[in-house]
Each structure stands twice: as C-alpha cells, then as structure tokens.
Amino acid sequence: MWRAVRFIIIAAVLLVLAWWIGGLPGNVTATSGPYRVETSVPAALLILFVIALLMTVLLRALAGIRRAPGGVVAWRGGRRMRLGEMATQRGLVALAAGDVAAARSEAARARKLLGDTPLVLLLTAETARLAGMADQAQEAFRLLAQHKEMGFLGHHGLLRHSLAVQDHEAAHDHVLAAERAYPGSNWLQEQKKELAVRRQDWGSALTLTRNPAEIAAFAVAAARASGTPQHALAYAKKAVKAAPGLAPAVVAYAAALRQVGKPGAAKKALIAGWKVAPHPLIAAAYLEPLATPLERAQAAAELAAARPGHTESELVLGETALEARLTGEARRHAEAALATHGDDGRATDILARLEGKPVHSICASSWVCEACQTRCADWAPACAHCQRPGTLVWRAKDAATAPA
C-alpha cells in the first residue's frame, strides 16, 4: 500500500519537474573556437543530466576493477563455505532420517567443499557407522578426537565402537580420554559401568551405580567371583542389604556365612530371605547340607513356617514329603499349592508322581529380564540378551502362560 502511494508521489513530482523544465524559456549558446552550438534550456539540462549519469557509471566501474581480484576470491570462498554448510546440514538431516545414501553423498560433498572441519568429520563418521563401514567411521572419529573443542565426540564414537566389538582394552583407553575431554558426564558414567560389566569387573561396577537392583546384582557377582570367604561375605551382605528379596543374594550370603563357619547364621539368613520372598533357590540352599529325606522334610517345615500358606512353602513341603515317602502329606501340600492358584506345574507334578502317572513337568516360572522380557533359566548379574545389569526378576508364574 505504502509502496504504491510513494511510487505515485514520486511519479507526480517527476512529471511536474519535467513539465516545468519543458516550459523554461530561453536558449543556451556554447561557443568553442569556430564552433557554436545553440539549444533550448530544457535540452541543455537533459544533456547535462546524461553526462553526469555517464561519469558516475564510469567511476563506479573503475573502482570495481581495482578491487576485483580479492573480491572474486572472497566471493568464491564465501560461496564455497555456504555450499559446504548446506551440504553438512542436508547430510545431518539425512542421517537423522536414516537415509544412508543421501547422507553419504552430502558428507562427501561437504568434505570436498569444507575439508575436515569437526562437523564434517562427525557427519562422515556417523554416516559411515550407519552404512556399516566401521573402518571409515573409525578414521573420522580418530581425526575428530584430536579436535580441541569437539574431541569428546571423537572419543564418544570410538568408545561406542570398541564396546560393540568387545575390545575392552581400547574401550578403557577411550573412557579415560573422554573423561579428560569432558569430565563428569552422565553418559560416560553409564559407559564405564557397561564396560565394567563386560569385563566382569564387579568391584568397579559397584562404585558406578546407586541403583539398588544393580548394586545387588554386582555384589552377588562379586561375591561369587571373590577369592576369599571374607570378601565374599562382605559383598553378599551388601547384596542382601540392597535387595533383601533377591534369592541369589540371599543364597550367596548364606553360602558365604557357611564358608566362614557360621552355619547357624546361614540358616537365619535363608529364613529371613524366605520371609521376604520364598524362592526355590533358597529352599535348595536350606536343604543342601542335610543328608536324609526325613531331615530334609523336617527342615522344610522350619523354612515353610516363615511364610505359611505361600505356594513355595507348600511346594517345598510337598516335595520333601514325597522324597520321604510321606504320601499323605505330599498330596495335602501339593493340593494346598494348587489351591493358591500360584502353581507353575510343580504341584501337578507331585500329584502325578504320587499316582505313578507319567511326569511332564512344565515349570512356568523363570527369570525374566524386566527391560527386554527375555527369559533365562539361571539368574545372571546382567541380561544375556540386552546386557542390562540388574534387570532379571523372578516370575513365579507368567500371566501369558497361566491357564485361564
């Protein structure tokens, strides 16, 4: 709107000016030697205006030519940089979108235009990683690691790679370098923990977590791997303190107590664990030192008294009664276990054996990774599938496999 108004005003002023000049009276006469030019005032003004315009254009052109060489280089350099930046940006977007081919071509273009700038190196490395070209990724990350400001990202990539290929020594070096480049990062703390787990360095792993489930998992593993009974006892105690309901922790603690010659304390620890969470591993550890079936049946009664009526209590009573040929007791406890609706096939199994029927034991209970839901027969400090530590929990009876 304003533009139009301004245009109209300027046009009107020019028109008025032209009309006024056109109407100026008189003549202009120029004399040079024998030459004599005579013209009207408006024509003379027009000629003057054209001469001034030509002079201005000529001076501008001369100044431009003088500055030319540097100007052209700067212009071309700026253009190169702009194109390189554009390629980098496009490459990063393609990378995020998972378009490997586009990311690769933009990365190559950016590298050609800009050279090995940190961003180009990062783009090149991540693109190569996505394309599965580990060597090329490694090379770019190595170059990036030498950069003062962005070195951390180089070590980040190198560490991730060495963890993936299980090169624990290299991973350790990159952890130290990354720590120097960017001290105290949470990400690095997690990587250190992962590395400690992979190296089965449970003592270090313990110093890197505050999560009770992880503390318990690492402490049980440390107790199991421990060279001396005293150390094993200290670790196992720590594990039980962190997770009183974790059966492997309770069992490790009892085993360590037995090792240092405290069988009474071991029994107490197992009963305490049973109280929190009855588990077949605790029952097995409780009955382990006893030789005769009758002793075992009596011990089972002691243990079961800590959680009367629990499915596991009824099952351990039923199992030991069956072993001791106390068939009436065995049937009663197996039926009681069934009545709790928590049986995973073991109570049915006892009843089948009592009647001499073929046994097809289907135990629905197992350790399950809370993170990836993978089932494992045995407990481990880290999930064998997703490698996350402290994620295995006991699922007494899985909802998916339970009869409706």
CB-based contact 303:281 (threshold 8 Å): no
Q: Are strands 392-395 and 27-32 parallel, antiparallel or unpaired?
A: unpaired
Q: Tell me the per-residue interface mask from 379 to 398 with Zn ion, x by CB under 5 A, - otherwise.
A: ----x-xx------------
| Residue keyed to tokens 């070195």 | 151
Q: Which of residues 54-73 bind Zn ion (CB under 5 A)?
A: none
Near Zn ion by CB under 5 A: residue from 371, 376, 380, 396: 371
Q: Tell me the per-residue interface mask from 326 to 365 with Zn ion, x by CB under 5 A, - otherwise.
A: ----------------------------------------
The verdict on 372 binding Zn ion (CB under 5 A) reads yes
Bridge partners of residue 369, in order along the sequence:
392
Nearer to Zn ion, 168 or 385 (CB): 385
Range 220-224 contact pairs with CB under 8 angstroms and sequence separation of 24 or more: 220/246, 220/248, 220/249, 220/252, 220/381, 221/381, 223/252, 223/253, 223/256, 224/252
Nearer to Zn ion, 200 or 387 (CB): 387
**359 secondary structure, DSSP code:** P
What's the CA gap between 229 and 231, in Å, rounded?
6
Element containing residue 389 per DSSP (H, E): none
The verdict on 369 binding Zn ion (CB under 5 A) reads yes
Nearer to Zn ion, 38 or 378 (CB): 378
What's the CA gap between 301 and 316, in Å, rounded?
8
Q: How far is the CB of 244 from Zn ion (least distance, A)?
A: 23
Q: Tell me the per-residue interface mask from 199 to 238 with Zn ion, x by CB under 5 A, - otherwise.
A: ----------------------------------------
H helix runs in 277-362, sequence order: 280-287, 293-304, 311-323, 327-339, 346-354
Q: How far is the CB of 372 from Zn ion (least distance, A)?
A: 3
CB-based contact 347:315 (threshold 8 Å): yes
Nearer to Zn ion, 168 or 388 (CB): 388
Q: How far is the CB of 375 from Zn ion (least distance, A)?
A: 10
Q: How far is the CB of 214 from Zn ion (least distance, A)?
A: 13
Q: How far is the CB of 392 from Zn ion (least distance, A)?
A: 8
Judged by the rule CB under 5 A, the positions of this chain that interact with Zn ion are 369, 371-372, 374, 383, 385-386
